[in-house]
Amino acid sequence: MKESIPLTWRRIPERYRMLGVQCETCNTKYFPKRSVCPKCRRKGKLSQIQYSGRGKIYSYTEVTSPPEGFEDQVPYILAVIELDEGARLTGQVVDAHKQDVQIGSRVEQVFRVIQRDDPEGLIHYGFKFRLV
Ligand SMILES: [Zn+2]
C-alpha cells in the first residue's frame, strides 16, 4: 500500500482493497475473493492474498453511453486488466485517452471516486487503474 492512501481507506472493506484468495491445493489465484475453488471444490484450501494492483491491459473499450450515475465521467476507458498475479478483472482506466491505451499497456491501481450518490452527497470510493 502506498503511504499516500489515507488511513480511513485502509479500514474500508476488503472489496475496496486488492484482496483476493489463492487456492493452496491447485495454486489458482482469484480476484475478487471467493469462498470455494471451482476447480478443487471442497478439496481446495483458500487463503487470502494481497494483490500488487499492477498489471497490464488485456482488452479495453471506450464507454460513451454510461450506466446511470456515471454520466459525468464519459467518455471513459473500461478495460479488462490482467493482474501480474494472474487474475483478471474489469476496471476503469483514468487520466487516459483512447489513443493512449493499448493492449499490453502497463497499469497500476489508484483510489478514485467511483460514484457520487444524490441527494445526500454520499461518495463511493474504490479502485481504478492508470497507465504507468
Ligand atoms: Zn483449487
Looking at residue 108, what is its pLDDT? 95
Question: At 12, is the pLDDT very low, low, confident or very high (cuts 50, 70, 90)?
Answer: low
b/e per residue 66-99 (b: at least 16 CB within 10 A): eeeeeeeeeebbebebbbebebebebbbbebeee
Record the pTM: 0.72
- Residue 9 Cα to ligand 1 midpoint, Å, equals 31
- Residue 24 Cα to ligand 1 midpoint, Å, equals 7
Looking at residue 1, what is its pLDDT? 43
pLDDT at 100 over 70: yes
pLDDT at 11 over 80: no
- Residue 81 Cα to ligand 1 midpoint, Å, equals 22
pLDDT in tens, 48-66: 988 888 999 999 999 998 8
